[in-house]
Amino acid sequence: MGRLSGKTAIITGAGSGIGRASAILFAQEGANLVIADKMDSVNETADLVRQAGGKVTALTGDAGDEAFVESLVAKALAEYGGLDVAWANAGISGGWTTFDEQDGAFWAEILRVNLIGAFLLVKHASRVMIPAGKGSIICTASVAGIRSGAGGSPYSASKAGVISLAQTSANEFYGTGVRVNAICPGLIETGMTKPIFEGARARGNEDKIGQLNPLTRGGVPIEIAGAALFLASDESSYVNGQAIVVDGGLSSSHPVVRRKK
């Protein structure tokens, strides 16, 4: 018996990176999956899930569009008869731009996908979970949502909002048995962070990746997937309204000059 046997899970942003690694891991642990991404690569993830022995339905669409998000929940019900886990993982970074280069439309798009998209999955998943008296909702936030230095201003603001969403919605669902938590990844090698990693390698500075955290390395998607698996499983049945940080220890310290012993 896997840790998610008999459970049905939705994962957005499953076309690559953290979402793909998590879809495969969830399938290996027995979950039935509905996965989504704006990229067609979500179908490649579905093939990998099937190779892992999992049941999966893949859809392509916009995680910030309410009709599409509602359709994901409807698909879970139609295909698998219920919904136990919903992970709002889809997000965009916006890159590093100065305040002078930003405008309202730029901010609005990042907030629409990262924060409103998460809200929409919380809203529609909870409508199914509350009558069942249980369910785990996960939102991908970031260490950028905790303090400055890990992302651009609109991205960081959106992820701070995701942390607040997890806290406030957990309390909105008081007494229902539905849990809401956020995961805050640090520097993880994904499509979003690819330029950082490739740039460091091109400069011969690969050994400096992750130098600001006490593990002195970047992370990989499966390390975030493991945290999500815990939150999705019954092992986390008393964990609610939390922002779980997975960053190698980066956010545990103020900036400091390190000296090797």
* Residue 252 located in a structural domain: no
pLDDT in tens, the chain (261 residues): 799 999 999 999 999 999 999 999 999 999 999 999 999 999 999 999 999 999 999 999 999 999 999 999 999 999 999 999 999 999 998 887 888 999 999 999 999 999 999 999 999 999 999 999 999 999 999 999 999 888 899 999 999 999 999 999 999 999 999 999 999 999 887 666 656 655 656 676 666 666 888 888 889 999 999 999 999 999 999 999 999 999 999 999 877 766 665
Range of the domain at 29: 8-191+220-246
3-state secondary structure of 55: strand
Contact of 212 with 250, CB cutoff 8 Å: yes
Task: Tell me whether residue 170 is in a domain.
Answer: yes
**Nearest one of 227, 164, 221 to 194, comparing CA atoms:** 221
C-alpha pair distances (Å), 112 with each of 66, 107, 121: 11, 8, 13
Residue 84 lies in a domain: yes
Residue 133 is part of a domain; what is its CATH number?
Answer: 3.40.50.720
- 155 tagged catalytic: yes
Q: Determine which one of 80, 155, 174, 238 is catalytic.
A: 155
Q: Is residue 39 in some structural domain?
A: yes
Q: What are phi and psi of 206, to 5 degrees?
A: -55, -30
207 falls within a domain: no
